Amino acid sequence: MNDKISIIIPVFNVASTIGRCLDSVLNQTYTSLEIIVVDDGSTDNTTSVLDTYQDNRIRVIHQKNSVQGIARNVGMKYATGEYIGFVDGDDSVDKNMYECMIKAACEHNADVVQCNISNVYSDGTRKVQLPEISCVVQRQNEPQYFDKYMNRNIHSFEVCNKLIKKDFLMQYQIMFHDTKKVHAEDLLFNLEMAMKMSKIVFLEDHYYFYYLHCRSHSKANSLQKLLKLCDLFTFFFSEVKDREITRQVAGIAVLVLMQNLARLPHTKENREQSKKFLRREDIRRYLFDSMRQSKKMRHKLLILTILTMPTRVKLFIIKSHYFNMR
């Protein structure tokens, strides 16, 4: 295996963690790498830390601050590898990650390989994030793919635990969207990727280390974030004409939107806005499609309750059921 992997690392003010991240990538057992660091206008000492690295596999691109997705797109533009991987500057990876993933990609001629993720908490404890499943999936043989794999958290919404064939991304022009317009660009990227890919390999091994305490800001929920998530699904559904797929993805929309609704801070304004949100035509459509698509009576009853009960009961049910999911 001599295929080169381009690892794209967007960074913004991660001086305290970028060293750990880069060291873990440089110490890979697979050495045919190029590491493209896109410094997205950092104002702390990130640039100084990057300057201490002299490894010729590292290329640093400096740009004015944009958003993470746009920074990743810049990295993809400069990537020369046959495969592309993404790492966030506040995370790290196991030394065997890319050797194992490219072996699976080449062995199965897969468009995408996904490994598991280990969540790392502030006290040092770790928890495996995804179901521990290893399998090869031919996408065209799985008409229920979105429901069977994405809605059940097997195909994760993250990109950093993926190795992706560059030609596949270029063929279908799959790129990241501007987070100023939509929230959770990783999710939209994965939805678009799942629409087009022919084969994906799932590895149960957790090679990617996701440090939750380094990114508490990303867990903050707000009404603005919720509305931008609505924009994400509106955009996706506008591009998809297959009714079967829209029904399945409606289930994902319900899961994501209800989780974020359940986690809104408890204020009078948010309560009033939540009532309006649940009356939106698109939200009711997602709920109806999710109820029709599901084969689980418990889920059908849950959605029916959300659709028909008084608003106070709806919000109580949503918070009780969705707050601690995933």
Q: Is the pLDDT of residue 159 over 90?
A: yes
- The whole-number pLDDT of residue 215 equals 60
**Distance of alpha carbon 243 from alpha carbon 73, whole angstroms:** 30
34, 81 Cβ separation under 8 angstroms: yes
Whether residue 251 is found in the same domain as residue 296: yes
Q: Is the pLDDT of residue 216 over 50?
A: no
CATH of the domain at 12: 3.90.550.10
186, amino acid identity: D
Please state the φ and ψ torsions of residue 8, each to the nearest 5 degrees: -105, 125
Residue 66: pLDDT band by 50, 70, 90 thresholds? Answer: confident
- Angle among Cα 285, 286, 289 to the nearest 5 degrees reads 85
Whether residue 209 is found in the same domain as residue 231: no
Residue 221: pLDDT band by 50, 70, 90 thresholds? Answer: low
- The whole-number pLDDT of residue 214 equals 65
Residue 231: pLDDT band by 50, 70, 90 thresholds? Answer: very high
Q: Is the pLDDT of residue 242 over 60?
A: yes
Whether residue 131 is found in the same domain as residue 276: no
Residue 13: pLDDT band by 50, 70, 90 thresholds? Answer: very high
Whether residue 202 is found in the same domain as residue 232: no
Domain boundary among 202, 218, 234: 218
Number of domains in the chain: 2
Whether residue 12 is found in the same domain as residue 50: yes
Residue 220: pLDDT band by 50, 70, 90 thresholds? Answer: low
Q: Is the pLDDT of residue 272 over 50?
A: yes
Q: Is the pLDDT of residue 180 over 80?
A: no
85, 72 Cβ separation under 8 angstroms: no
Whether residue 89 is found in the same domain as residue 102: yes
User: What's the average model confidence in pLDDT over 149-165?
Assistant: 97
Whether residue 49 is found in the same domain as residue 196: yes
- The whole-number pLDDT of residue 218 equals 47
- The whole-number pLDDT of residue 173 equals 96
155, amino acid identity: H
Domain boundary among 165, 197, 218: 218
- The whole-number pLDDT of residue 79 equals 98
Whether residue 199 is found in the same domain as residue 240: no
Give the torsion sign (CA, 257, 199, 83, 116): positive
Domain boundary among 179, 199, 218: 218
User: What's the average model confidence in pLDDT over 306-326?
Assistant: 92
Residue with the larger pLDDT of the pair 214 and 59: 59
Mean pLDDT of the chain: 94
Q: Is the pLDDT of residue 112 over 50?
A: yes
- The whole-number pLDDT of residue 325 equals 79
Whether residue 176 is found in the same domain as residue 152: yes
3-state secondary structure the chain: CCCCEEEEEEECCCCCCHHHHHHHHHCCCCCCEEEEEEEECCCCCHHHHHHCCCCCCEEEEEECCCCHHHHHHHHHHHCCCCEEEECCCCCEECCCHHHHHHHHHHHHCCCEEEEEEEEECCCCCEEECCCCCCEEEEHHHCCCHHHHHHCCCCCCCCCCCEEEEHHHHHHCCCCCCCCCCCCCHHHHHHHHHHHHCCEEEEEEEEEEEEEHHHCHHHHCCCHHHHHHHHHHHHHHHHHCCCHHHHHHHHHHHHHHHHHHHHCCCCCHHHHHHHHHHHHCHHHHHHHHHHHHHCCCHHHHHHHHHHHHCCHHHHHHHHHHHHCCCC
Q: pLDDT tens for residues 136-150?
A: 999 999 999 999 999
The pTM of this model reads 0.93
Q: Is the pLDDT of residue 1 over 80?
A: no
Segments forming the whole domain that contains residue 190:
5-218
- The whole-number pLDDT of residue 326 equals 66
Reference 33, options 51, 12, 8, 52; nearest CA is 8
Q: CB count, 10 Å around CB of 196? A: 14
User: What's the average model confidence in pLDDT over 185-210?
Assistant: 97
Phi-psi domain of 124 (left: phi exceeds 0; alpha: psi -120 through 50; beta: other):
left
User: What's the average model confidence in pLDDT over 58-75?
Assistant: 94
Directed axis angle between helix 223-239 and helix 281-293, to 10°?
60
User: What's the average model confidence in pLDDT over 300-318?
Assistant: 95
Residue 4: pLDDT band by 50, 70, 90 thresholds? Answer: very high
Whether residue 105 is found in the same domain as residue 34: yes
